[in-house]
Structure 1
Amino acid sequence: MSLVYLEFDFKVDPAQPASDILIAELGELGFESFVENETGVLAYILKSEWEEANLSHLFVLQNPNFKITWTTKEIEQQNWNAEWERNFHPIKVGDRCMVRAPFHQAEPVDFDIVIEPKMSFGTGHHETTHMMLQHILDNDFEGKSVLDMGCGTGVLAILAKMKGAGYTEAIDIDEWCFLNTEENVERNNCSDIKAMQGDVSLLGDSKYDVILANINRNILLEDIPNYVKCLNKGGSLFLSGFYLEDLDVISAKCAAHGLEFEKKMEKNRWISAKYVN
């Protein structure tokens, strides 16, 4: 007998960062698979494991900054990998970097990154990841120690290592992201990247030449003092995961801790900025 699943079709506005937060929270409720689309997120859970009251506890659904509605229907068990493959297309960052899945054909680029994201985030499709990849392409990483904070799939750490980075760490609080990063660094012959599960409390007295943090506005504001403490003199902090209207408050927080704004990228109101000390 085939298993019966519930498909939740979430309409999300604005799509980010609400979709990422929604997926993270639904994963904790036992949802097994997610497909992001143009209107939001499709999420799947076994009918036998679902309790209607669960959604009432989700932070993202109570946040007045997000408008999220949903419909539900029953479906028979299906091949989730096939669903994912139909919705994941390779991307290029400029003409030098390609991010693709194992089933996509390679193309002649300087940096060919193979990512199997599963339930973690960071394929390069989202504006913030795309801009962070562009920052890495535009800057010198040769021999530099690097931290990828909130690493998702590990794609930023992987590109940094491909560009010659020295000691590199990739940290994410989500277990699935941590495990997925471990798989992806192996897949891209970057197994010397140290992947860890946790938050800024793992940093301690560590020092880095470059810190990459693509998270969200509130976490960035909370963690910037920790990043600055861990940044070597002459180091660079690259931040993304926030909107244009948040740039002033992010820059003010960095300035209060001795960092100077150097440049920014903007894509569909999303911002990625570079700060130096």
Structure 2
Amino acid sequence: MAWLQLHLATTEKHADAFQAALENLGACAVTLTDGADQPVFEPPPGTRPLWQNTVVSALFEADAELELILSALQQQGLQADAHHHETLEDQVWERAWMDDFSPMRFGERLWIVPSWTDAPDPNGVNLKLDPGLAFGTGTHETTALCLEWLDGHALNGKTVLDFGCGSGVLAIAALLLGAGQTTGTDIDPQALIASEENARNNGVADRLDLFLPEQMPAEYRCDVLVANILAGPLVELAELLAGYCKPGAGLALSGILAEQANDVRDAYSRWFDLTPTTQKGDWVRIDGVRKSA
């Protein structure tokens, strides 16, 4: 069975109206994508920001009448800035999606391996992880920077805090690399659920403690702290994160654009001896060691 896919260029203001109208006209699926490479970094809770230039894509059965769909939209006052369409041949969509993800190596030992593939290096440290609801599968530069840092450190028996744990990928990687009891914290309860499930799938759930930030033990201290969030929150949380670190503790921070690096370094230099910034694409990692006083 073939499908008709219609793409409509519009604005943030009208995207929801296009989506609702297309669904009412029989679209099997509607997706919204960025029409102008405009990043949306961290929306406030309960909001769903869209791009100023949004492409609304609708999937219809192949016998749908394109001109009738466009006419019906116009009658509702919905005029796209531009549009085009294509015919998609049927395929096993689940397999097509799965083919987009393959094992990835970070550093010398660590691999992230989707559950449906074999580990390229059976003797490596293989973290089983599938794409899910919470951010963090290793595909983004910020996650990769942190995974490479963890792979390069001796973690045996050390306590680790993954602050803003998302899918739990950094905490689980630390555990597989030999860390002792590890903690993950995130403001999103869904992230904690994803982290617990991923830890269970990797056989390390018994060594991973998960908390909302307000539930963190008051006297908690760790040997290693990783935080892959964003520059603004990192700056605001500098004193809190420093307080979680024992003297001599290792620190790795990411989620930072290159032009934001100096602001983050300034915020942490009071408590940490920082090494030179590491960059991958537009993103950087800042790491160092907690001062003794």
TM-score band by shorter chain is: 0.7 to 0.9
The structure-2 alpha-carbon separation of the partners of 1:187 and 1:6, relative to structure 1 and needing over 3 Å to count, comes to same
Asked if 1:71 is matched to 2:55, the reply is: yes
**RMSD after superposition:** 2.7
Paired residues of 2:185 and 2:210 also in contact (CA < 8 A) = yes
Identity %: 26
2:185 maps to which of 165, 171, 177: 171
Q: Which amino acid aligns with 1:21?
A: E
Which runs of 5 or more structure 2 residues have no equivalent in the other structure?
Answer: 1-25, 62-90
The structure-2 alpha-carbon separation of the partners of 1:107 and 1:68, relative to structure 1 and needing over 3 Å to count, comes to farther
The structure-2 alpha-carbon separation of the partners of 1:224 and 1:83, relative to structure 1 and needing over 3 Å to count, comes to farther
Which residue number corresponds to residue 151 of structure 2?
Answer: 137
Q: Secondary structure at the match of 1:271?
A: strand
Pairing of 1:72-91 with structure 2 (within 5 A): 72-75=56-59, 82=95, 84-91=97-104
Paired residues of 2:162 and 2:185 also in contact (CA < 8 A) = yes
Distance in 1 (CA, whole Å) between partners of 2:119 and 2:194 is 21
Q: Deviations over 1:240-268 (max 9, x none)?
A: 00112111111110023x21112432101
Which runs of 5 or more structure 1 residues have no equivalent in the other structure?
Answer: 29-56, 62-66
* TM-score with structure 2 setting the length: 0.71
Q: Which amino acid aligns with 2:31?
A: E
Distance in 2 (CA, whole Å) between partners of 1:12 and 1:186 is 39
Paired residues of 1:178 and 1:195 also in contact (CA < 8 A) = no
Distance in 2 (CA, whole Å) between partners of 1:106 and 1:221 is 38
Q: Deviations over 1:156-203 (max 9, x none)?
A: 111111121111011122222211111110111111233435236635
Asked if 1:208 is matched to 2:243, the reply is: no
* TM-score with structure 1 setting the length: 0.75
Distance in 2 (CA, whole Å) between partners of 1:80 and 1:182 is 28
Structure 1 residue 133 displacement after superposition: 0.6
May I ask how many residue pairs the two structures share in their alignment? 235
Which residue number corresponds to residue 37 of structure 2?
Answer: 13
- Which of these two proteins has the greater Rg computed from alpha carbons? 2
Distance in 2 (CA, whole Å) between partners of 1:261 and 1:175 is 32
Paired residues of 1:200 and 1:223 also in contact (CA < 8 A) = no
Distance in 1 (CA, whole Å) between partners of 2:129 and 2:274 is 31
Distance in 1 (CA, whole Å) between partners of 2:242 and 2:92 is 45
Paired residues of 1:174 and 1:197 also in contact (CA < 8 A) = no
